[in-house]
Chains A and B, each alone.
Chain A
């Protein structure tokens, strides 16, 4: 990896100079830490009900107010962050594993393998995947693991195309030919020679997939087809907020704001990472 260190330190240098990306990154880190620490930093339990209090606007005891059942909104947003971020990262991980292996195999072996695999991707591209996710959720019931799998299974297509393109460029370079001549096995070829060289684009696309995945999860939860109560994600909080927004607008506004800021942060960070790793796109 020492050969790559200049590329990476160069990229980190460029990334740190991009203010929007750094701000996005900072927000994300803060968010992830507070989601992880939710049981300790949340002022109340997410399910603690104060029925006498009911829905109350933001106050000193409840910084973001309470919902109809008297549950503290800030605590619920913090706990919701755990579910939303978990879905974002795990489903992206699933997409990453499928997409990278598919792309590497198609690109590396080429020929008929490649054309069959990529034709399959072309066909899948044309399908209404959102409907398939809904179909799966209906048939097998909405459980969290299925949600990860279903969303991940939808989002890998673009990743496989990107990886395949990179591998095709790499596989004709001398160091790969040399490794092949030395009898390196296919698996260690992927692990030691191909993967380290395509980490950049993979990292970029992964950061841009996370917001897409989170959007899909909250979309499903909003329709009532995703996360089920008593668990809550930002999507379900927004859904609850919409139902009572006429009298208690804070129940919609704060979860909505949190979600939007997170999407902004992820998009800015992803864009910044892309610019940092691909110098060609920076100066225009």
Chain B
């Protein structure tokens, strides 16, 4: 177990290095310099600007300087917001995005697992059909449509909830969290239903029932541990999806999180900000994938020796 753990962690390092390197040189390929938008500046000023931002050094020196900075948590200055560093912007947006993602995952896990397990136990009844039909809607309606529709219904027509913001008006965290969590609730409901159905037919469940355990014990202690492994392995990739979802949700609800910063940086061509956030996002995704891999290894002893 420890050997696998170490191996997976060691495999993540070259991946991250490759991503950072690729992104760095891709950004260098982008047409135009960072100061093209400024009014015509004299060659002397341009030279000083380039010196301040380390752009007069050779590509290799720029690369090694940048990477040394990244390892120490310094992503350099932002090109579009003079005086602000990329690290500052990431650390101001991250807590908000993290909170949003946590609520969304929580909603997805609670609703998804409850309805999925229930659907599996009450197979081919209304308790199975209705949640699964709703889940199908959740999978087919994209986040960028679900969000505005929820705003239209609950914010504008019914005037129940605020339509934008984060932490300013009471209840303004509800709609963004539901918007982001809904699609994942749908996936998790389908995965946990499928996983439970598979496990419920197995011999050890029959043994548990034959022992005279209550149905509640059988489901919670025996069936769910195996039946929910697909959900655990789904959570890693889901983090990557949540990130993309946060781009949309934070744009719709005007939330000052990391996702919105990223989209703005992309629209404004703030190259250093894009570079920094891309590396940061990649590190997070690799980390969460690793975590969910290890969790499913731990839950499923049979896959350990692969």
Contact = CB atoms under 8 A, between A and B. Distances in A.
Contact of A138 (B141, B252, B266): B266
Contacts, number: 102
Looking at B140, B240, B244, the one whose CB has the most chain A CB atoms below 10 A away is: B140
B29 A139 contact: yes
Contacts of A239: 144
Contacts of A138: 30, 266, 269, 274
A127 B140 contact: no
Contacts of B144: 218-219, 222, 235, 238-239, 242
Interface of A: 123, 126-128, 130-131, 134-141, 215, 218-219, 222-225, 235, 238-239, 241-242, 245-246, 249, 252, 256, 259-260, 263-264, 267
Interface stretch (B45-53, B111-119, B173-181, B280-288): B280-288
16 contacts: A127-B15, A127-B19, A127-B286, A128-B281, A130-B244, A131-B262, A139-B31, A218-B144, A223-B251, A223-B266, A238-B144, A245-B156, A252-B149, A252-B152, A256-B149, A260-B145
The 8 closest A-B pairs by CB, nearest first: A139-B30, A222-B144, A242-B148, A130-B244, A263-B140, A256-B145, A128-B285, A138-B266
Nearest to A243: B148
B140 to A, nearest CB: 5
Contacts of A223: 247-248, 251, 263, 266-267
A139 B26 contact: yes
Contacts of B142: 215, 218-219, 259, 263
A18 to B, nearest CB: 16
Contacts of A242: 144, 148, 252
Q: How large is the interface on B (under 10, 10 to 19, 20 to 34, 35 or more residues)?
A: 35 or more
A128 B262 CA distance: 14
Given A138-B266, A139-B29, A252 B148 contact: yes
B267 A131 contact: no
B109 to A, nearest CB: 22
